[in-house]
Amino acid sequence: MSELRKDPVTGRWVIVSTDRKKRASEFERESVQIVADPLCPFCEGHEHMTPHELMATRSNGSGPNGPGWNVRVVPNQFPVLRVEGVLDRQGEGLFDKMSGIGAHEMIIESPRHDETLATMSEAGMDAVLWAARERMRDLKQDHRFKSIIVFKNHGASAGASPVHSHTQLVALPIVPRDVRDELEGAEAHFLAKERCVYCDILRQETRDGVRLVAENAEMVALSPYASRFPFETWILPRRHQSHFEESWPHEYHALGRLIADVLRRMNRALESPPYNLLIHSAPVSDQASDHYHWHVEIIPKITKLAGFERATGCYVNPTSPEEASEVLRGVRL
């Protein structure tokens, strides 16, 4: 038998198979291999192969655009949106468009080609998250930008083209639909109950425990009740906060520890799967709010989307979140 489950934030229904018990080993998997590349533009010593850096953490007093860094942020060489220009809004008969103004940056997470978020040092992970925060705080000064999306594609079938571990950051002159859906859902819950829906989720899940994956003093990792994808995992801060970039240093550190923990569990249980990691945060153009709660989503790419999902936005998930969290909890690290 399967169940229809409703996401408590967006109201989106998901079909969860609770009988098929598709085990981790049954998925067609592509293990991510980090292939060496002597021409990788993201490797230390190849700084001349990227656009000039926007920021870097450098421990040894080295100068910009040369070796000696831990994390380096550069503009994307083939940006989907560009910083230069005027935000021009136009109609074309029935249709509406605006010029492709935005920013598209790459956070190069390590000087080493073969390092990943699952293997790097605690200090390295801290520097990656701090770089995301700093770039968001810088870009939000530009009032053309309404939202900033921070996301990571790991492995070719999750959409990564450079192999060298990196996170991307796109600043947009709009608030995208899925972000708006979450905001509106969270706001509706708050209006009805005077409570943040994510705080409610945290309370119920930490009490029940059946969908918990791991936790530490500041952060909780869980399989969401209406998981769209097998082994989808969310990491939420225990402290209510709408904007990722407004968190405290010890929270970034705790987040980094839990990201590494979850990725190592996935690497063991699912044999180094491709994945997307997404930071969901309130639009930079919004004030701090009582109803939205930033969080991280980690989604292993082990199933294919097909026509049904395309036609409906309703996902069929062959692995129940209770089973996924049991598998991930059970991994011995």
Looking at beta carbons only, is 247 or 320 nearer to a copy of itself?
320
Cβ atoms 226, 6 nearer than 8 A: yes
User: Which residue out of 154, 166, 280, 291 is catalytically annotated?
Assistant: 166
Exposed e or buried b per residue across 90-100, where buried means at least 16 C-beta atoms within 10 angstroms of its C-beta: eeeeeeeeeee
CB of 175 to a copy of itself, least distance (A): 9
Looking at beta carbons only, is 47 or 132 nearer to a copy of itself?
132
CB of 226 to a copy of itself, least distance (A): 7
Looking at beta carbons only, is 49 or 80 nearer to a copy of itself?
80
> What is the C-alpha separation between 93 and 235, in angstroms, rounded?
44
Tell me whether residue 48 is one of the annotated catalytic residues. Answer: no
- CA neighbor of 241 nearest in space, from 228, 260, 254: 254
CB of 196 to a copy of itself, least distance (A): 12
8 token code pair: 């408590």
Contacts of 312 (CB under 8 A, 6+ apart): none
- HSE-CB at 132 with a 13 A cutoff on CA atoms is 31
Looking at beta carbons only, is 130 or 151 nearer to a copy of itself?
151
SS3 143: coil
CB of 227 to a copy of itself, least distance (A): 12
C-alpha Rg value of the chain to the nearest Å: 20
Looking at beta carbons only, is 44 or 326 nearer to a copy of itself?
326
SS3 167: strand
Contacts of 177 (CB under 8 A, 6+ apart): none
Give burial (CB, 10 Å; 0-12/13-18/19+) of 43: buried
Which residue has tokens 């192969």? 49
CB of 84 to a copy of itself, least distance (A): 10
Catalytic residues: 166
